[in-house]
Structure 1
Amino acid sequence: MTGTAATVAARDPMPGIAAMCAGVACLCVNDAFAKALTEGYSPLQILFLRSLIALPFAAAIAVGTGGPQALVSRRPLAHLARGGLVIAAALMFFTSFRYLGLAEATGLIFVAPIFITALSALVLREPVGWRRWLAVAAGFAGVLIVVRPGAAAFQPASVLPVLAALFYAVLMLSARWLDARESVWTMQLWLVGSSVLLSGLAVGFVWTPVPAGDLWAFGCIALFGTLGMTLITQAFRMAPAVVIAPLDYTALLWATGFGWLFWQEVPDRATAVGAAVIVASGVFIMIRERRAAG
C-alpha cells in the first residue's frame, strides 16, 4: 500500500461517508431540477446554461486549490474530446427525463461501472476474471429486466440512459488520455469549459428565451451539480474507495423520493428488481477490483 493510500485508509471514514452521501444527494437535486426544466427547454440549452453558470465556480475552485497554473492544460484537445463525451451523455440522460421516471432513468445509468469493466477488458485489454465477467452479464440482465424489450411495457426512451452510461464509461476511461500531472480540479475545469464551448456552438438552434423566474432553477442546477462533484471528489480523498464508491447507489433512494414527491412516480416491480440487480452487480465489481488492486 502506498503512503497516500495508507494515510487515507487510516483516517476515520465517517467524514468521507458523509461527504459522499451529501454529494450524491446534491447530484440528485441537480437531476430533479433538470427533469423539471425539460418540460420547457431543450436538454442542450439546459446543459449549456448549467455549464456556463458553473464555469466561474469551477475556475475559482481550481485556482483556490492549485493556483493559477491549474488553469493551464497540457492536453487541450483531449479535454475537448472529453467535453464531447460529456455533452453526449448529458443529452441522452436529460432527454430520458421527458419520458421516464427519475428513479428508472437513474437506475439504468448505474450500468456505467459495468460498461467500464467490459470496455477495460475488450478495448484496453486489461485482465478481468470470470467472476467480474459474470457480474457484467448479470448487470446487463438487470438492464433487460428494466427495459423489457419486446414487452408491451417497453419504452424506446429506456435506451437513452443506457447510452448515456456508455458515453460516461468512455469518459471515465478517457482520463488516461490526459497528462498525469494535471490535478482533478484542472480536469474538472476544462471539462466544464469544453462543455460550454461545444454546446454553445449549437444551442442557438434550439434556444428558448429564459424568463427571469426560471433563472434560479438554472442557477440551482449549476450550484448543486458543482457542489455534488466537489463533495464526491473530496470524499474519495477522505476515505478508502472501497467504502465510498458503493454509496453512489444511494442516488436511487433520492431519485425515488424526488420522483414520488414531485411527479407522483412509483417504480414498478420490474424496475425495482432490475435496478437491484444492476446495483448488486456494480458493487460486486467494485469489491473484486479493489481486491485485485490490493
Structure 2
Amino acid sequence: MNTAASGAVGPHTQGILLMCFGVACLSANDAIAKTLTAGYSPLQILFLRNLIALPVTIAITLVMGGPSALRSHRPLAHLLRGALWVVAAMMFFTSFIYLGLAEATALIFGAPFFITLISGLFLGEEVGWRRWLAVLAGFVGVLVVIRPGGAAFQPVSLLPVATALVYALLMLSARWVDRRESVWTLLVYLTGAGALLSALVVPFVWVPVRAGDLWLFAGIALFGTAGMTMMTQAFRIAPAVVVAPLDYTALLWATLFGWLIWRDSPDAMTVVGAAIIIASGVFTILREHRQAGA
C-alpha cells in the first residue's frame, strides 16, 4: 500500500473539516455581533463588518477565481440580493438584543422549510408528500421554540423566523445571477452590495466607535469572511449531502458561546424544538440528494 496515498485527506474529509471550521467561525461572528449590540445599532455593526471585510473578500476572490470573477453580467441582481441580505442581517442582529444566541440560531434554521414552501407554492417545483411532511415537522419545531400564546412567548422571537424567510429568498435569488458567474463572484458582490446599501442609512444611527471595540469589529469581519469562504469551498469540493447537515453544529457553538459569555442556556422546550428542526432539515437534505440521483 502506498503510505502517502493512504494518508492523503480525501475531498469528503476536506469538505467536512472546512464546513465544521466555517460554521464555528460564523458562530463566533454571531457571538461578537450580539456583544456589539449592547452599544451599537445592528445597522452600524453590519456596515462596518462589510466595509472591513470587502478588501479581504476581493483578495480571496482574486486568488480563488481570478480577475474575471470580479466582473458581473447582472449587477442589478447582486444589488437586489444585497438588499435581501441587509434586511436579513438587520433582523437577526436585532434579535440578539432580546434573545439568547442558541434560541435565535435555532429559529433561523427554519430557512430550508421556507425554501421548500416557496419552491412548491410559487415557483412551480414538484414537492413530494415526504418533503411537505418535513416542512410541517420543521414548522412544529419552530412553534415549540417560540411557544406562541404561552407565558414564555416573546414577539421578538418572530424576528429570527422572519430572518429565515428572507434568507430563503436570498438563497433562491441566486437563480437571478448569470450562470457564468462563480460562487466567488456572488461572495464579493454580496459583501460589496451590503456595504453600499447599509452606507446609505448608517449616518442616521451612527455613534462614535470606541477604541476598545475596534478589535471586535475586526473580529466580526474576519470570522464572518473566513466562515463564508470555508463553507463555500466545502460545498465546492464535497457533495452537499455530506457537508450541509454539518451546518446544524452552529447550535452547539451558539449554546457554548451563550453559556461562556452570558451564562445563557436553552431551556428544555428550545432543545426539543431545535431537535425537531434539525431532524426535519437533515431529512430534507437527504431526500433531495436521493431525488437528484447522486
TM-score, with structure 1 as normaliser: 0.95
State how far apart, in whole Å, the 1-side matches of 2:157 and 2:283 are: 24
More deviation, 114-123/93-102: 114-123
For residues 277-292 of structure 1, the aligned pairs below 5 Å read 277-292=276-291
State how far apart, in whole Å, the 1-side matches of 2:290 and 2:65 are: 32
TM-fit CA distance, 1:16: 1.1
State how far apart, in whole Å, the 2-side matches of 1:234 and 1:225 are: 14
State how far apart, in whole Å, the 1-side matches of 2:39 and 2:162 are: 23
TM-fit CA distance, 1:238: 2.2
Q: Which residue of 2 aligns with 1:182?
A: 181
Q: Which residue of 2 aligns with 1:218?
A: 217
SS of equivalent residue, structure 2 residue 97:
coil
User: Which amino acid is 1:13 matched to?
Assistant: H
User: Which amino acid is 1:151 matched to?
Assistant: G
User: Which amino acid is 2:67 matched to?
Assistant: P
Q: Which residue of 1 aligns with 2:155?
A: 156
State how far apart, in whole Å, the 1-side matches of 2:121 and 2:32 are: 36
SS of equivalent residue, structure 1 residue 97:
helix
TM-fit CA distance, 1:133: 0.1
State how far apart, in whole Å, the 2-side matches of 1:64 and 1:268 are: 44
For residues 255-270 of structure 1, the aligned pairs below 5 Å read 255-270=254-269
Q: Which residue of 2 aligns with 1:241?
A: 240
State how far apart, in whole Å, the 2-side matches of 1:278 and 1:65 are: 34
SS of equivalent residue, structure 1 residue 98:
helix
Q: Which residue of 2 aligns with 1:143?
A: 142
TM-fit CA distance, 1:123: 1.4
Contact 1:86 1:168 survives alignment (8 Å): yes
State how far apart, in whole Å, the 1-side matches of 2:201 and 2:72 are: 25
Q: After superposition, give the CA deviation of every residue in 1:258-292 in whole Å (9 maximum; x if it has no partner).
A: 00110010101111111111111100000111111
TM-fit CA distance, 1:237: 2.0
TM-fit CA distance, 1:11: 4.3
User: Which amino acid is 1:293 matched to?
Assistant: A
State how far apart, in whole Å, the 2-side matches of 1:19 and 1:68 are: 24
Q: After superposition, give the CA deviation of every residue in 1:165-224 in whole Å (9 maximum; x if it has no partner).
A: 100000000000010000111111111111011000000000010021111100000000
Q: Which residue of 1 aligns with 2:69?
A: 70
TM-fit CA distance, 1:255: 0.3
Q: Which residue of 2 aligns with 1:4?
A: none
Aligned residues: percent identity? 68
TM-fit CA distance, 1:65: 2.0
Contact 1:11 1:239 survives alignment (8 Å): no
User: Which amino acid is 1:265 matched to?
Assistant: D
TM-fit CA distance, 1:12: 4.5
SS of equivalent residue, structure 1 residue 31:
helix
More deviation, 220-229/230-239: 230-239
Q: Which residue of 2 aligns with 1:42?
A: 41
Aligned length: 285
State how far apart, in whole Å, the 2-side matches of 1:242 and 1:72 are: 30
State how far apart, in whole Å, the 1-side matches of 2:120 and 2:27 are: 30
State how far apart, in whole Å, the 2-side matches of 1:241 and 1:11 are: 15
Gaps of 5+ in 1: 1-9
State how far apart, in whole Å, the 1-side matches of 2:96 and 2:290 are: 36
State how far apart, in whole Å, the 2-side matches of 1:189 and 1:80 are: 12
TM-fit CA distance, 1:15: 1.5
State how far apart, in whole Å, the 2-side matches of 1:286 and 1:129 are: 13
TM-score, with structure 2 as normaliser: 0.95
SS of equivalent residue, structure 1 residue 182:
coil
Question: Is 1:271 aligned to residue 270 of structure 2?
Answer: yes
Question: Is 1:167 aligned to residue 166 of structure 2?
Answer: yes
Contact 1:11 1:238 survives alignment (8 Å): no
Q: Which residue of 1 aligns with 2:88?
A: 89
Q: Which residue of 1 aligns with 2:132?
A: 133
State how far apart, in whole Å, the 1-side matches of 2:289 and 2:122 are: 21
Calculate the aligned-residue CA RMSD, in Å.
1.0
State how far apart, in whole Å, the 1-side matches of 2:61 and 2:267 are: 43
Gaps of 5+ in 2: 1-8
State how far apart, in whole Å, the 2-side matches of 1:25 and 1:201 are: 31
User: Which amino acid is 1:177 matched to?
Assistant: W
